[in-house]
Amino acid sequence: MDSEKYIGRLLDNRYEILEVIGTGGMAVVYKARCHRLNRLVAIKILRDDLSEDMDFRRRFHAESQAVAMLSHPNIMSVYDTSVTEEADYIVMELIEGITLKQYMEKKGVLNWKETLHFGMQIAKALEHAHSRGIVHRDIKPHNVMVLKNGSVKVTDFGIARIMSKSNTLTKEALGSVHYISPEQARGGRVDNRSDLYSLGIVMYEMMTGRPPYDGETPVAVAIQHINGGAQMPSVLNPNIPGGLEQIIVKCMNRDPAGRYTTATELLNDLEEFRKDPGILFDFGALPVDEVTRLQGMNQPAPKPAQPRTTAERVAARNAQRPAHQNENGLHLADEAELKRRQEQRRLARQQREELEEKRNKTMTTAVAICSGVAVIALLILLVVLYNGGMSGDVTTVPVPTLLGQIYKELDTSRYPNFEIVLSDYNYSDEYEHGIIMDQTPKAGDQVAPGTQIKIWVSMGPKEKELPVIENLKNMTEEAARNYLDALDGKLVPIVRTEHSDEVEEGRVTRTEPAAGEPLTRGQTVTIYISAGPEQVKKNVPNVIGANITGALAILNQNGFEKLSSMEEDSLESKGQVLRMEDAEGNQILPNTMVDVKTEITVFYSSGEMYAQMPDFSGDTTGQEAMKLLSDLGFKNVEVEEEYHEEIPAGNVIRTNIPAGTKVDVTASVVLTLSSGPEPTEPPTESIAPPLVTKEIVIYLPQNQTEPYTLTIMLGSGITVMDGKEIQPGTETITVAMTGTGVMYYEIYINGEYLRSEKVDFSA
């Protein structure tokens, strides 16, 4: 496909192709301008060979229409689709940013916060699409755009579904095969869990800098997905938090039954990890003897050294797995095993709740009994100490200080003389989350070797419940931020702008979550700030000279909706457009760019013209009077002469219509000129001035849309041009005229009077 061939073309008389911004195995992406909405868009045009496949085109159109219904801030918007003989294309929003793949190549290994930030946004996009029955099928860093504000948008929804119909691993699949699910690689049934697998691969690559499987050919990589056995992420990056590694490994389970069922489940665990980065999930069943030990029912056995990394924890768990469970820890062998483990977890929780209830009921009795036992034990201890002190056989050791240490980093091997047991978690305003806040026995106490030290770990300050978010509409950005800060919920504000016709520029239009919705600690709150009304400028079409009805329709079709019309007296034909003005009375010229929301008044001719008859005094010459009457629009003027003793020859004596009278310009006007005093002697023969021929350039009207006839009359009935056909758009015509002195010629269009012009043959 020649990617340059569409540049400069106008698709569907709407989209002007400007430049190439990307190429792929199935299409070329162009930057284009939508002339109807005056905005920049991205247009993906299919390759010519794919457009020749009618079945492919049908699926392409159906899938594109479905994807166009998606509306989510983390999904690239699809505005329009077209399947025509000219081109098959999708119109999408134009995003300024780079792909997640480019971002990863630029930064290398991402930290866990960035991985969580990007992963949650992709999962939200998948949650929205899956809820509408759309599976992406090609989640990879190349199909995720990173915007300048740090948010991401997933692209190419639905297109992967069409491409996957071939079920082949060609060179076009090379960029995708690193991220496909095992069922995709086998050509099996694909559902939303396939997208979650691919997302797990993407998060794996973000945390390690490389995908889990690689090979020389796409087929080799696909086989690795089917067989499994990827290295744990913590082997490549020991800094990955254990909880996040667990989430990634669960997403990458090669058996769909072992993955998250929905994107919502994945988001819930990601949110739990975000709240507590030190969390470890119990995806497997908790052994009964461990439950018993935590409840303190039996004397605990010495606690083995805890694995230090998630990789070690998973390896330890694998050692206890049934034989039919996969050795790489990425999935369960069958659904029955998963259900058995879930039932074990339910029974363990039930057992803990029953034990807690039993403990509460017996607390009062236990306190009384323990008080008596404590007195007896104290007496026995004193005797033992006394006898031991006398004999020198008893050895004691001081209790170490554990307060203030990080529980998850506590190295029990440093305290070989003690068994350290976690008693409980409690809220604390003094100690941060995960810090040891209390112990018994106390530090410094002398106890026998092997004594058990119980510890209590802080959960940090008890978080207060946040209220529902108030309506922040019309607040300033600063006031909205101050409101969120005052809630003390570690809320993360993100500011975006949008056009609004009702909210003043610089003030809040809305928030996400919306007013009245509940807030959670650490939640991201998007504040939308008004950028004022959206100004869309368009070219004003030239409707001057057109009929008022058609002119209003043309303006409306070009996006101008605030239209009104006004009739005024004019020499032009009835209904003919004369000019356009805005609300302030400024003239709007054709072919200029004007905001589509501008109020436009279109003035048109009433087809009638009235004028006030001038006052011609005795010093007005006939030529001056004729010029003035012509300028006022009078069309039927007759000239008579009579002798007058006082008024010089050639000057106006009177008119048949009194001065100051308002009269229709089509009325007949008789202009009486003076011939001077009546002669007393026979007049002498005068010599007539010579005739002069001149080339006169006549400017023709530009409001004609069809051919018309042009007639030119000079003086009193001399025809210079009679019914010559003129084509629309002709600006001037040159005509030879012959006369003497100063004369006037009249112009007629299709037999109707247009105007008069003066010719000075003496000049």
Choice among 53, 55, 138, 269 that is catalytic: 138
Most confident of the ranges 105-114, 614-623, 748-757: 105-114
pLDDT at 148: 86
pLDDT average, residue stretch 658-678: 87
- H-run or E-run covering 389: helix 363-391
Q: Is-cis flag, bond preceding 513, omega within 30?
A: yes
Phi, psi of 134 (to 5 degrees): -110, 120
The Cβ of residue 526 has, within 10 Å, a number of other Cβ atoms equal to 15
Most confident of the ranges 42-46, 337-341, 430-434, 616-620: 42-46
Q: Examine the pLDDT at 140 and tell me if it is beyond 80.
A: yes
Q: The tokens of 520 are what?
A: 């959670």
Q: Examine the pLDDT at 193 and tell me if it is beyond 60.
A: yes
With beta carbons less than 8 A apart as the criterion, state whether 82 and 12 touch. yes
Phi, psi of 593 (to 5 degrees): -85, 125
Helix (H, G, I), strand (E, B) or coil at 527: strand
pLDDT band at 66 (very low <50, low <70, confident <90, very high): low
pLDDT average, residue stretch 43-55: 79
pLDDT at 383: 47
Please list the residues that pair with 346 across neighbouring strands: none
pLDDT at 3: 73
pLDDT at 24: 72
Longest Cα pair distance anywhere in the chain, in angstroms? 178
- Alpha-helical (H) ranges within 190-280 are 192-208, 218-227, 233-236, 242-251, 263-275
With beta carbons less than 8 A apart as the criterion, state whether 275 and 252 touch. no
The Cβ of residue 43 has, within 10 Å, a number of other Cβ atoms equal to 28
With beta carbons less than 8 A apart as the criterion, state whether 114 and 206 touch. yes
**Relative orientation angle of helices 100-107 and 192-208, to the nearest 10 degrees:** 20
Residue found by looking up tokens 């259900």 in the block: 339
pLDDT at 464: 67
Instruction: Specify the DSSP class assigned to residue 336.
Output: H
Q: Does 690 or 124 have the greater pLDDT score? A: 124
pLDDT average, residue stretch 328-343: 46
**Alpha carbons 633 and 571: distance in angstroms, whole number:** 7
pLDDT band at 441 (very low <50, low <70, confident <90, very high): very high
pLDDT band at 724 (very low <50, low <70, confident <90, very high): very high
pLDDT at 338: 45
In CATH terms, 689-763 corresponds, of 1.10.3470, 1.10.150, 2.40.160, 2.60.40, to 2.60.40
Q: Is residue 17 classed exposed, middle or buried when 0-12, 13-18 and 19+ CB atoms within 10 A define those classes?
A: buried
pLDDT band at 173 (very low <50, low <70, confident <90, very high): very low
pLDDT at 591: 92
pLDDT at 189: 85
Average pLDDT of every residue of the chain: 81
The Cβ of residue 116 has, within 10 Å, a number of other Cβ atoms equal to 22
Q: The tokens of 550 are what?
A: 């058609």
750: closest CA among 708, 715, 713? 708
pLDDT average, residue stretch 173-191: 82
- Alpha-helical (H) ranges within 257-362 are 263-275, 288-295, 310-319, 335-361
Identity (one letter) of the amino acid at 540?
V
Q: The tokens of 14 are what?
A: 């709407």
The Cβ of residue 55 has, within 10 Å, a number of other Cβ atoms equal to 9
pLDDT band at 287 (very low <50, low <70, confident <90, very high): very low
The CATH T-level fold of domain 537-605 is Trypsin Inhibitor V; Chain A (3.30.10)
Residue found by looking up tokens 């794919």 in the block: 50
**Alpha carbons 197 and 733: distance in angstroms, whole number:** 78
Q: Examine the pLDDT at 454 and tell me if it is beyond 90.
A: yes
pLDDT average, residue stretch 76-104: 87
pLDDT at 123: 96
Q: Examine the pLDDT at 361 and tell me if it is beyond 60.
A: no
Single pTM value for the model: 0.42
How would DSSP label each residue in 546-611?
Answer: SBHHHHHHHHHHTT---EEEEEE--SSPTTBEEEEE-TTS-B--TT-EEETTS-EEEEEE-S--EE
Most confident of the ranges 334-338, 341-345, 361-365, 671-675: 671-675
With beta carbons less than 8 A apart as the criterion, state whether 254 and 212 touch. no
- H-run or E-run covering 688: none
102: closest CA among 146, 154, 61? 146
pLDDT at 210: 94
Residue found by looking up tokens 């996040």 in the block: 244
**Alpha carbons 89 and 45: distance in angstroms, whole number:** 4
619 is catalytic: no
pLDDT at 149: 85
pLDDT band at 689 (very low <50, low <70, confident <90, very high): confident
pLDDT at 353: 59
Report the CATH architecture of 97-281.
Orthogonal Bundle (1.10)
Q: What would the pLDDT profile of 521-564 be if each residue is shown by its tens digit?
A: 778 899 999 988 887 889 999 999 899 988 999 999 899 989 99
Ranking 223-227, 358-362, 646-650 by mean pLDDT, the lowest is 358-362
Q: What are the CA-CA distances from residue 301 to residues 289, 292, 294, 402, 436 (Å)? A: 10, 11, 11, 21, 22
Q: What would the pLDDT profile of 346-360 be if each residue is shown by its tens digit?
A: 564 565 556 556 555
pLDDT average, residue stretch 417-434: 86
Q: Does 745 or 172 have the greater pLDDT score? A: 745
Q: Examine the pLDDT at 11 and tell me if it is beyond 60.
A: yes
pLDDT at 181: 93
Q: The tokens of 400 are what?
A: 């170490």
The CATH T-level fold of domain 477-530 is Trypsin Inhibitor V; Chain A (3.30.10)
pLDDT at 163: 45
For residue 447, what are the contacts with CB-CB under 8 A and spacing of at least 6?
396, 397, 398, 399, 441
pLDDT band at 158 (very low <50, low <70, confident <90, very high): low
pLDDT average, residue stretch 308-331: 44
Q: Examine the pLDDT at 290 and tell me if it is beyond 80.
A: no
pLDDT average, residue stretch 608-636: 84
Q: Examine the pLDDT at 617 and tell me if it is beyond 80.
A: no
- H-run or E-run covering 673: strand 668-674
pLDDT at 320: 45
Tell me what percent of the residues of the chain surpass a pLDDT of 90.
35
The CATH T-level fold of domain 10-93 is Phosphorylase Kinase; domain 1 (3.30.200)
Q: Examine the pLDDT at 117 and tell me if it is beyond 60.
A: yes
